[in-house]
Structure 1
């Protein structure tokens, strides 16, 4: 799809590193697992997320790679980040994350049989990307949906395939990491966040420009471009 103007802000989808990578790790929440109600749209009342994880924050990790990284994708809408990530994030004044609660890593199991050096387990914190004001562009996205969104606030809909998306100009409120309206299941970050990750060499983070982000498990292809 055509990229935005070079003068427009650039955004990236944040995901964990690829499978079989140096930092490949699986996560399981350890009992007791307490949950609160899922978030709802303030306008239409529809559910726009998963059940919220409540304390105690306890996890079991399964390490398939060589070492534990600075970022672990949670089971749900939460993320785990290392102490050095938290310190750098706060020091540089980045915005968009909520929580910052310490996590108790009750077990780390190595899933490979090769003999390894002693493992260093970072201190982790659980965070939640905020629900931002930025909204996906309903016209320019190459996104196939099961039905058009009916709520102008959350813009929630079933997404069948994504072949790139852009954010509607003027809707972004400046957060560095957030979940956009119309695509709350994805974590989107600013260009400043991208430079922050690169500068501090934070590990196990994959950043894809939103206009290049593709998820099409059923091979449906991109939605047709709008006609003029």
Structure 2
């Protein structure tokens, strides 16, 4: 009998639409704004996230594109997703999101006159991707850091440039959307999540394979490959 071939799972970085897209939208919270302490690592007690937004969840939107999408990146670690997204996410049993609290959209300001058709405002919910067990691979990543991580649990460090990254085999616990250890500032999703987005035609969601993800504002270039 032929032996089975193991295929490593594929992962993608989730971001909202690019600047200037038809769904280009900015979001800001509306006073009063209440915040809780930022999450900390259970081992080293260092911060691994931003201050947590508490209710009431009220926002104002600035629409630079033509219509509002199913996904809007928030002002902190929170994300805004449409009711259509929430219903499909729950119906298909995907995992990794927390919250699902309704958001009041106080105002939508249209910043362009490209479209004259009436604007439909979806019902939005605030969600947070969980902090997953998956960890970035400390050897194979093409990531430049300001200093090596000192905590084996959170692996938090300052990241100066990213030219692709991979997750350490055996660390992923199966979540469909999560923030990985060592790169908590990024939202990573599974291939099942990618298929879900495409099948339902969910809008304003850009998915880039982790090994192809590039962010290098200072043009430092990729970290050198490990030598053998």
Deviations 1:80-137 (A, max 9, x none): 0000000000000000000000000000010013461111100000000000000000
Quick one: structure 1 residues 127 and 115, their matched pair in 2 at CA, closer, same or farther if it must change by over 3 Å? closer
Within-5 A mapping of 1:151-166: 151-166=151-166
Partner of 1:123 in structure 2?
Answer: 123
Q: CA–CA distance in 2 between the matches of 1:79 and 1:225? A: 34
For structure 1, list consecutive stretches of 5 or more residues without a partner in the other structure.
none
Partner of 1:57 in structure 2?
Answer: 57
Partner of 1:89 in structure 2?
Answer: 89
Q: Are 1:11 and 2:6 matched, yes or no?
A: no
Quick one: structure 1 residues 164 and 6, their matched pair in 2 at CA, closer, same or farther if it must change by over 3 Å? farther
Partner of 2:141 in structure 1?
Answer: 141
Within-5 A mapping of 1:1-228: 7-114=7-114, 116-228=116-228
Q: CA–CA distance in 1 between the matches of 2:22 and 2:143? A: 32
Deviations 1:170-226 (A, max 9, x none): 000000000000000000000000000000000000000000000001111100000
**Residue pair 2:66, 2:114 contacting (<8 A) in 1 also:** no
For structure 2, list consecutive stretches of 5 or more residues without a partner in the other structure.
none
Give me the TM-score of the superposition, normalised by structure 1. 0.97
Q: CA–CA distance in 2 between the matches of 1:219 and 1:195? A: 33
Runs of 4+ in 1 over 4 A off after TM superposition: none
Matched residue count? 224
Q: Per the alignment, in what secondary structure is the counterpart of residue 84 of structure 1?
A: helix
Q: CA–CA distance in 1 between the matches of 2:18 and 2:86? A: 22
